[in-house]
Amino acid sequence: MAESVFKMPLTNVPQRFNMDIVGVTYTILCRWNESIGWSLDISNATDDTPLIACLPLTVGVDLLGQYAYLGINAGLYVYTDGDQFQPPTLENLGANSNLYLLVSE
């Protein structure tokens, strides 16, 4: 089974965009939260049904792992250059701290 890795197009400002993941289009909302740092909301782009709310960008885990029942069929990982365990900060998201989508084909 082959795997493909995609770098998600994030910057260090709140943003909302659509992304196709294995044939399904999702709306991604990324924003800064003073309590938990950067977080994601994921919804179905077709009908705007919320799927995941306020998911913190945590390093060292598959962020979608606990949501396998949603059938997204991909992994989502945060990685910071130079320190793989450093969470993204307000300043470095999209620069040296990035979010990667891992899709099994």
What CA–CA distance (Å, rounded) separates 92 from 104?
Answer: 28
- Percent of the chain past pLDDT 90, that is, above it, reads 90
Domain residue ranges of the chain, discontinuous segments joined by +: 3-104
- Is 1 a residue whose pLDDT tops 80? no
Task: Tell me the per-residue pLDDT of 30-89, one tens digit each, with 9 for 90 and over.
Answer: 999 999 999 999 999 999 999 999 999 999 999 999 999 999 989 999 999 999 889 999
Decide: 91 and 105 in contact? Cβ < 8 Å. Answer: no
User: For 9-35, how does the pLDDT look when each residue is reduced to its tens digit (9 = 90+)?
Assistant: 899 999 999 999 989 999 999 999 999
Gap between the Cα atoms of 40 and 105, Å rounded: 24
